[in-house]
Structure 1
């Protein structure tokens, strides 16, 4: 029995290559961050204020060098508001917190550039004439790309008839975006749906290939809307604000 007991003790004490995650903060891309507008446009007239909210959603995860042991994993497995994720999935490339922060910051900058390009292409605007600045506090990574693009379209054009994209609703979501407006998958979607519902969202835009993942822990009162492109997201928002036929997972 002694070897078995020793193995059990070692298993309890040994650090494991996992991160623990939970629902993070949400940020209204149509609002302000640290006292300044998340989206600032120069060189073009903006349509006005949207009475609704477009919430970009995050997860909060343990840092790369944090020690995660078996008891931590066991406790998290049995909680709906926690997730156990491979550390490499949360922090690709390894390294310490400083390395991770540099990569996350670089991914955010690339995401912002793609969002601006996709939004201006969608509206047939010239980047030489229209300048867009994006701010979102400490949020990093590429997953806010779709909502940055939606926010820019909302600021510049709204629904095309003088009102906003949301119709006064609170719409949350996540997804990367490339310069051509294609929406891509992200991590931690089930936790992000919980953060969205907690902060008042009733609709959640999700990359279409992640419908099953998003539905795994879907909170009551939140409806999933699959999107594959910026145009698809704009079409979905039109259906939402006009109480039309909204796509569903």
Structure 2
């Protein structure tokens, strides 16, 4: 074997080794998918998602569905072929692991963090909804129950559910107008709606579960349009008030914001 042939063989072996290493080495990414949705006006595992005491509630129609994503766990090994496949699929998203799991190094720590965020989200949703209606948190108590969901991204839909159960559109009608409305967004106690991430996957989950309208934080309009299912109407919101106004306009045929 000539020296040139031996050199080519060695180089080829090194290249092959590098390729195999790239294919087999775990990478700091997570692969996300459309998750579950839940109607906050209904029940979850036999219990009402929203229970209100200290005030009369309305019988509602239509649905207000919170949305979620699911992702490979923090301990999962994600490799180059997984990333390549994820880039080309519309029902998957490749995301930096720290964007999906910004806190915690294992499943238990992350679950605890997400549970705390969910509890805080429920408190702020209650404050935002009662504040929007001019009611007191001292007189009205709200219990929110939704199993197997963590994080703050259901805040907007929780707040809308409370408003709908207590007051509807303020004129005897449901906020939903009988539709299945889905959405996502964090919320502050004074009613400001914040961005959440994973919106293209959430619109797909909403479409899968029958929604025709999707409320999205205005800052995420571009992301929401990326893989928008056919027939899904995007409605951008910045506050709880703007979300309520948009839903009223949808029912009456008034002007509705659009992305």
TM-score by length of 2: 0.94
Q: 1:122 aligns with which of 101, 124, 132?
A: 132
**C-alpha displacement at 1:118, in angstroms?**
0.5
4+ residue segments displaced more than 6 Å: none
Partner of 1:223: 233
TM-align CA RMSD: 0.8
Q: 1:82-161 to 2 correspondence within 5 Å?
A: 82-161=92-171
Partner of 1:44: 55
**C-alpha displacement at 1:78, in angstroms?**
1.4
Query: 1:41·1:133 contact (CA, 8 Å) conserved in 2?
Result: yes
**C-alpha displacement at 1:240, in angstroms?**
1.1
Query: 2:34·2:202 contact (CA, 8 Å) conserved in 1?
Result: yes
CA distance in 1, matches of 2:103, 2:121: 18
CA distance in 2, matches of 1:198, 1:65: 29
Q: Deviation string for 1:135-176 (max 9, x for gaps)?
A: 111111000000000000011111112221111011100000
Query: 2:104·2:113 contact (CA, 8 Å) conserved in 1?
Result: no
Query: 1:169·1:241 contact (CA, 8 Å) conserved in 2?
Result: no
**C-alpha displacement at 1:2, in angstroms?**
1.5
Partner of 1:246: 256
Q: Deviation string for 1:92-119 (max 9, x for gaps)?
A: 0240000110110011011111000001
CA distance in 2, matches of 1:68, 1:122: 44
Query: 1:59·1:191 contact (CA, 8 Å) conserved in 2?
Result: yes
Give the secondary structure class of the aligned counterpart of 1:162.
coil
How many residues align? The count is 248
Q: 2:82 aligns with which of 72, 80, 104?
A: 72
Query: 1:88·1:94 contact (CA, 8 Å) conserved in 2?
Result: no
TM-score by length of 1: 0.98
CA distance in 1, matches of 2:185, 2:139: 27
**C-alpha displacement at 1:243, in angstroms?**
2.2
Unaligned segments of structure 2, at least 5 residues: 1-11
Partner of 2:39: 28
